[in-house]
Each structure stands twice: as C-alpha cells, then as structure tokens.
C-alpha cells in the first residue's frame, strides 16, 4: 500500500528553502546596488579619493607608458617595466605623468623587496605630488626598513589626505591609526 503524502514533515523544508531563496535574492540585490554605486556614472570623478589602493587614478585614465609599465610588471616582466619607466621619465612632459611613473617604479622595487630603491622612487613622486597613496606607500617602506618614527610620520600625513567623500574613509583612517599604534605611536 503506498505511503500517504504528508505536508507536516515537508512544511519545515519548504519554509527553510523559501528563506534561503529570499536571503539569496536580497544578497544579490544588495550586491547589484553596491556594484552600481562603486562603478556607476559618478565613479572616478575624484582623482585622489584614496579608494583606488595603490594608484591615484583608475587604470584606464593613466598615461599610456604608465599603463604599459603596470601591465609588464603584472605579467612578471619587472625588468622590462623598469626600462619602460626609465625611458618614459626621460620623455615625460607633465608632473602628473612623472608622479605616476615614479609611483610605479616604487611599486616595482617594493614588490621585489628592494626597499631603499622603493623609498627613493616614492620620495621622487612625493616631490611632485603629496597624496594619500604616496604617504601610505612611504609608510609601508619605512616600516619594512624598520624606521618606525618615519613610518608613523608618513602614516599621519596619509590620514590628513584621505578625501572627506571617500567611501572607505573611516576604514582607511582606522587602519592607519591601528598601524601607527602598533608601531608605538
């Protein structure tokens, strides 16, 4: 004789499945809203917002030689990237382009743990522009070189340059303050 179908045991499973589907739909909607907010029509209007960690402008607005050097470095061709930077610096016409080139040169050196070279490149970039990104980079390198006081000074400068409209402002500020505290500041 066939078993009688009972909704009593299935009711809990149906409710659980409905709740899971509802949670997934809400998460997808929130994700879509956040993605639109981050990449919507107004994204990228504030060139030095500090949101683009490691660079001042979205990669599609960087000078061609800077983009080329970044691409080469990301593909593991650091020597070629450094040659591109050196050649481009000789021909660079604007301080903004030189700043971006020195910044990439510092990133390349830092990634290879050549901290003295990174420090020199970042200081050349700093001479051209004082930005959140450059001071955070200088702080990282000074930390790696074990110069805690210099690192603290750079991190404090970085805090003052976090844009008031930066969506990550409180995170960046808290993160830097914790780093400063961990260095004894």
| pLDDT one-digit tens code per residue, 1-40 | 555 555 566 777 778 888 888 888 888 777 777 776 666 5
Identify the band that residue 120 occupies on the pLDDT scale cut at 50, 70 and 90.
very high
User: Do residues 92 and 139 both lie within one domain?
Assistant: no
User: Do residues 110 and 134 both lie within one domain?
Assistant: no
Element (H, E) at 136: helix 132-144
Residue 25 lies in a domain: no
Structural domain of residue 78, as residue ranges? 63-115
Q: Which residues contact 54 (CB under 8 A, 6 or more apart)?
A: 107, 133, 137
Residue 26 lies in a domain: no
- Rounded CA separation 8/136 (Å): 60
74-82: Cβ within 8 A, 24+ apart: 78/108, 78/111, 78/112, 81/108, 82/108
Six-digit token pair at 112? 């290879």
Residue 81 lies in a domain: yes
User: Do residues 104 and 146 both lie within one domain?
Assistant: no
Residue 11 lies in a domain: no
Residue 20 lies in a domain: no
User: Do residues 108 and 142 both lie within one domain?
Assistant: no
Residue 74 lies in a domain: yes
Domain count of the chain?
Answer: 2
Residue 30 lies in a domain: no
Q: What is the pTM of this model?
A: 0.66
Average pLDDT over residues 51-57: 43
- Rounded CA separation 143/137 (Å): 10
User: Do residues 67 and 95 both lie within one domain?
Assistant: yes
Identify the band that residue 129 occupies on the pLDDT scale cut at 50, 70 and 90.
very high
Contact 134, 52 (CB under 8 A): no
Average pLDDT over residues 57-80: 83
User: Do residues 111 and 136 both lie within one domain?
Assistant: no
Report which DSSP code applies to 4.
P
């Amino acid at each position: 004789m066939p078993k009688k179908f009972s909704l009593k045991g299935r009711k809990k499973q149906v409710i659980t499945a409905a709740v899971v589907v509802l949670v997934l739909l809400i998460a997808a909607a929130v994700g879509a809203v956040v993605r639109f907010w981050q990449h919507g029509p107004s994204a990228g209007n504030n060139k030095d917002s500090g949101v683009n960690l490691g660079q001042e402008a979205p990669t599609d607005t960087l000078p061609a030689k800077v983009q080329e050097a970044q691409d080469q470095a990301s593909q593991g061709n650091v020597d070629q990237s450094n040659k591109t930077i050196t050649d481009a610096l000789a021909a660079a016409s604007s301080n903004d382009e030189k700043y971006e080139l020195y910044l990439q040169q510092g990133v390349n050196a830092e990634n290879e743990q050549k901290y003295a070279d990174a420090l020199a490149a970042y200081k050349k970039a700093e001479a051209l522009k004082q930005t959140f990104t450059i001071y955070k980079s200088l702080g990282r390198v000074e930390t790696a070189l074990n110069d805690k006081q210099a690192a603290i000074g750079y991190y404090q400068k970085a805090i003052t340059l976090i844009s008031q409209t930066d969506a990550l402002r409180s995170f960046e500020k808290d993160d830097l303050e914790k780093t400063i505290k961990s260095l004894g500041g």
